[in-house]
Amino acid sequence: MSSKPSIPKGTRDFSPIEMARRNYIFDTIKKVYKRYGFQQIETPAMENLNTLIGTGGDESDQLIFKILNSGDYLSKADEKALADKNSNGLTRSIAEKALRYDLTVPFARYVVQNQNDITFPFRRYQIQPVWRADRPQKGRYREFYQCDADIIGSNSLLNEVDLIKIIDDVFTELFRGKLDYTVSINNRKILQGIIESVGEQDKFEQIVVAIDKYDKIGSDGVIKELYNLGFDEKSGEKLLQLLGVKEASDSFKKLSFEETFKIITLQLEFFEKSIADTINGQKGIEELEFVFEKLKSLGIRTANIKFDPTLARGLGYYTGTIIEVKVDNFPSICGGGRYDDLTGKFGLKDVSGVGISFGADRIYDVLLDNNLYPEFK
């Protein structure tokens, strides 16, 4: 009896030619990371389930691949949970390890465990696969590589600037000016300010999720979701009006360097008038002003820079700047942001970090789709 061999859903084999292309991507990212003074680390594929859960919200907990305990795991299973068909409770008693879901949480764990040997701020990069029990789609896999760069142990916004410069450098090299891409930037504190100014801060998470869909479902869709959350018409309108600032940059397809920053300045001035009375809003505006000002003086090579007040990003741990990179017809190929307290969960307080992550597999697809690979020998 022989059966046809196969591999699990959402995983792939890589042939020699595919490996050549993948390594080309890894190598150029690595080269840029090193140039900016990042050092490489690696962490194990599996972590203790405890260190992984509860950092990215309930939804991402569900996407974690758990590893069954070895031996007679059933004999130690939580019988009550089993009888009650309580999967969550049962899981905790039969799986104590899991495959990593991203590289940031394991990194936070690493930092806490090695804090005595690390000199802060610490710039590390890490290129390894992660696993997610998502349902696969185009550009969405169950095993894929992330290429992370994080700076931890520094509040300086210059780190944000560096990361955006890295994005600019990497895609300038990979796309060679032949493909448009947009780096959207926002700050969670601005979102907080917006929400505070309409007096609905208790629903922060849900509102953020609704706002994040702006590009997809439009302002009508967002307002519908807000009403479902129990918004009255007035605050809904006001919130949309604030988000409307986004249109200022969307209405232009391609902007020159000067125009880009002119519009961003106007957008930020608008927010100064409307949400600067909230502490978070004020702070968020200041932070973004600094970042954009520095970017303007340092210059941009090929990136289209955009301030997008509707950019939210789901990952629960972001607290400040958030960044996302898109090209047409693909899901985001790079994302990141600042997190003020990722290490707190592991007992190390008051350590702030920022990071970005390139999605190598999506970049692979983008390059292939657009015929952007150089000749390989």
Asked if 216 interacts with RNA (CB under 7 A), we say: yes
Asked if 2 interacts with RNA (CB under 7 A), we say: no
Stretch that binds RNA, among 16-24, 108-116, 213-221, 250-258 (CB under 7 A): 213-221
Site map 288..317 versus RNA, x via CB under 7 A: -------------------------xxxx-
Asked if 285 interacts with RNA (CB under 7 A), we say: no
Strand pairing class (304-307; 182-187) = parallel
Distance from C-alpha of 350 to C-alpha of 284, rounded to nearest angstrom? 19
User: In terms of CB distance, is 216 or 273 closer to RNA?
Assistant: 216
Asked if 179 interacts with RNA (CB under 7 A), we say: no
User: In terms of CB distance, is 139 or 320 closer to RNA?
Assistant: 139
Which residues are 125's β-sheet partners? 40, 149
In whole angstroms, the minimum distance from the beta carbon of 4 to RNA comes to 6
In whole angstroms, the minimum distance from the beta carbon of 235 to RNA comes to 21
Asked if 129 interacts with RNA (CB under 7 A), we say: no
Select the residue interacting with RNA from 27, 42, 59, 233 (CB under 7 A). Answer: 59
Select the residue interacting with RNA from 89, 121, 331, 344 (CB under 7 A). Answer: 331
Site map 3..42 versus RNA, x via CB under 7 A: -x-x-xxx--------------------------------
Asked if 68 interacts with RNA (CB under 7 A), we say: no
Stretch that binds RNA, among 180-188, 282-290, 330-338, 342-350 (CB under 7 A): 330-338
Q: Which helix (H) or strand (E) holds 67?
A: strand 66-67
Interior CA angle at 248 toward 162 and 168, to 5°? 20
Asked if 377 interacts with RNA (CB under 7 A), we say: no
Stretch that binds RNA, among 74-82, 326-334, 341-349, 369-377 (CB under 7 A): 326-334
Distance from C-alpha of 337 to C-alpha of 319, rounded to nearest angstrom? 8
Secondary structure class of 179 (helix, strand, coil) = coil
Q: Report the candidate in 190, 346, 212, 216 with the shortest Cα–Cα distance to residue 275.
A: 190
Secondary structure class of 84 (helix, strand, coil) = coil
In whole angstroms, the minimum distance from the beta carbon of 107 to RNA comes to 13
Query: Is there a cis peptide before residue 331, judged by omega within 30 degrees of 0?
Result: no
Q: Go through 264-289 and write b for each residue having 16 or more CB atoms within 10 A of its CB, e for each that does not.
A: beebbebbeebbbebebbbbbbbbbb
Q: Report the candidate in 215, 268, 209, 264 with the shortest Cα–Cα distance to residue 242.
A: 268
Q: Report the candidate in 51, 90, 52, 53 with the shortest Cα–Cα distance to residue 68.
A: 90
Which amino acid is it at 148? D
User: In terms of CB distance, is 157 or 327 closer to RNA?
Assistant: 327
Strand pairing class (321-326; 334-339) = antiparallel
In whole angstroms, the minimum distance from the beta carbon of 56 to RNA comes to 6
Strand order in the sheet with 46-48: 46-48, 97-99, 66-67
Asked if 141 interacts with RNA (CB under 7 A), we say: yes
Interior CA angle at 191 toward 140 and 64, to 5°? 30
Select the residue interacting with RNA from 95, 179, 209, 248 (CB under 7 A). Answer: 209
Asked if 134 interacts with RNA (CB under 7 A), we say: yes
Secondary structure class of 42 (helix, strand, coil) = coil
Where does this chain bind RNA (CB under 7 A)?
4, 6, 8-10, 56-57, 59-60, 62-63, 102, 132-141, 144, 146, 209, 212-213, 216-217, 313-316, 331-335, 357-359, 361-362
